[in-house]
Amino acid sequence: MQILVTGGTGYIGSHTVVELLNHGDDVVIVDNLSNSHPIVLERIEIITDKRPDFIKADVCNFEKMNEVFSKYQFDSIIHFAGSKAVGESVEKPLLYYRNNIESTWVLVELMEKYNVPSIIFSSSATVYGQPDINPITEDFSYQCTNPYGRTKMINELFLKDTTVAYPNISAISLRYFNPIGAHESGLIGEDPQGIPNNLMPYITQVAIGKLEKLSIFGDDYDTHDGTGVRDYIHVVDLAKGHVAAVNYLQEHKDTSFLAVNLGTGIGYSVLDIVHAFEKIIGREIPYQITDRRLGDIATCYANPKKAKELLNWEAKFDLEKMCEDSWRWQIKNPKGYVRSNVF
């Protein structure tokens, strides 16, 4: 199949492109490189022995995307491109509403024009906000607590409405829990700009001496050790979930819209992750407990049953492997992609 991957040089996108190429699909990446580096394309080629087509463009640019759609006949789209930092979305809602919503609008408009039958959308467990109970199933109500989460919810509602109005288009919204880890080659991984927002890159940067110590936001939550519990999933497992979703829509063309959790179903606390990582590197990670962070919740983990039943997909990699691969990526690329010492 010929697949358009928007945001395909980013963290989850690059791992998904590898899985698609390994699966035998042809891939066209559109990315404006606002949060990624073009060297990713070389790394993908080293891993897979194939080079995806790459177009540097903004997905919100209708004319440019029209050119792309007129050049290729896509069988499916995986739409990763977007802005993803919760804190930044509170400060810059204009950027987030434009980038995260207009991009999907452009794609669906062009899918209708060029007869592209399916789209897989990158959603997030953040649409569940502060759930009363765990594990979380897909029928829980939307309870978004920030502009980023609301852009994901609006995208889902938009896809629901458009797939009803245009029965030739199908959509699956994949609600990711907490992706960590990296490809086991150590060639691609998460490369945050500045101070990381997420736990694992923070831990690896402390371990390598780039940051002094980890701040853990609150140890008085109602969890087994007082620190927040999340559902961490290996990014390669997550990537394989996208291949499964594309294949599902290929075989079930009468689908309109589906929302599916991608998680492991296991909750680990911040301290569980720190201790698992310490085991891998054989030394302690310095940390301090600070105040709770506004908007953080105690516990959030998925019920992954729907993904298993519908997509025949389930996460395979355990926490040890997630930590090992995160660490390999960090030591091979101590400064990220830009000044990497791998080549």
- When asked if residue 205 is in the footprint of ligand NAD (CB under 6 A), the reply is no
Return the SS3 of 229.
Answer: strand
What minimum distance in Å lies between the beta carbon of 104 and ligand NAD? Answer: 10
Which CB sits closer to ligand NAD, 89 or 223? 89
Q: Which stretch binds ligand NAD (CB under 6 A): 32-40, 88-96, 165-173, 249-257?
A: 32-40
Question: Tokens standing for 333?
Answer: 């690329």
What minimum distance in Å lies between the beta carbon of 127 and ligand NAD? Answer: 10
Q: What pairing do the DSSP bridges indicate for beta strands 268-269 and 229-230?
A: antiparallel
Q: What pairing do the DSSP bridges indicate for beta strands 53-56 and 2-6?
A: unpaired
Which CB sits closer to ligand NAD, 40 or 169? 40
DSSP H helix total and E strand total for the chain: 12, 14
Measured in degrees and rounded to the nearest 5, phi and psi for residue 21 equal: -65, -40
Which CB sits closer to ligand NAD, 80 or 301? 80
CA distance 79 to 86: 19
Which residues inside 151-190 make contact with ligand NAD, applying CB under 6 A?
176, 179
Listing DSSP states for 244-284 in one string gives HHHHHHHH-TT--EEEEEES-S--EEHHHHHHHHHHHHTSP
- When asked if residue 43 is in the footprint of ligand NAD (CB under 6 A), the reply is no
Q: Is 148 a catalytic residue?
A: yes
Which CB sits closer to ligand NAD, 199 or 274? 199
Side chain identity, residue 120: I
- When asked if residue 13 is in the footprint of ligand NAD (CB under 6 A), the reply is yes
Catalytic residues: 148
Which positions lie near ligand NAD, rule CB under 6 A? Answer: 6-7, 9-13, 30-36, 58-60, 80-82, 84, 99, 103, 122, 124, 176, 179
